[in-house]
Amino acid sequence: MTSEIIYQGDLRTQATHLQSGDIILTDAPKDNHGKGEAFSPTDLVATALGSCMLSIMGIIANRHEINILGTQVSIHKIMQANPRRIAAIEVTMYMPNVTYTPKERALLENAARTCPVALSLHPELEQKLSFVYQ
């Protein structure tokens, strides 16, 4: 098993990662009857995409001795109303002040685009990925 989730009432859940014991709380967003005091489940999907992209980039960076330390990711989730679902996720990678060769850029950008979460999301969910190099 990966996790256990308990409904705590008031549209809040508590998820426990079984291997580490880490806990994540979720709340329904304010625009969907919730308090919005924690990540919503759809926030976690969008955030998982950015984290996955950065993790796979890290694997490639280690393999090719490319410095990506300090890379920051900004996530913007766009919802649609009917049916209520994530319509698009905009991911912006702010790369550190490092000079990357064209080959290194291609390796990193391909790693992000082909991370497991990116490949697992429904094809109708638009993934907008951009890189900002210093």
pTM for the full predicted model: 0.95
Q: Do strands 12-17 and 3-9 pair parallel, antiparallel, or not at all (unpaired)?
A: antiparallel
**Encoding tokens for residue 21?**
């014991």
Return phi, psi of residue 123, to 5°: -60, -25
Kindly give the confidence (pLDDT) of every residue in the chain, 134 residues in length, as a single tens digit, with 9 standing for 90 and above: 999 999 999 999 999 999 999 999 999 999 999 999 999 999 999 999 999 999 999 999 999 999 999 999 999 999 999 999 999 999 999 999 999 999 999 999 999 999 999 999 999 999 999 999 98
Taking a C-beta distance cutoff of 8 angstroms, is the pair 130, 91 a contact?
Answer: yes
What domains are defined for the chain? 3-32 (no CATH), 41-132 (3.30.300.20)
Cα 45 to Cα 51: distance, rounded to the nearest angstrom: 10
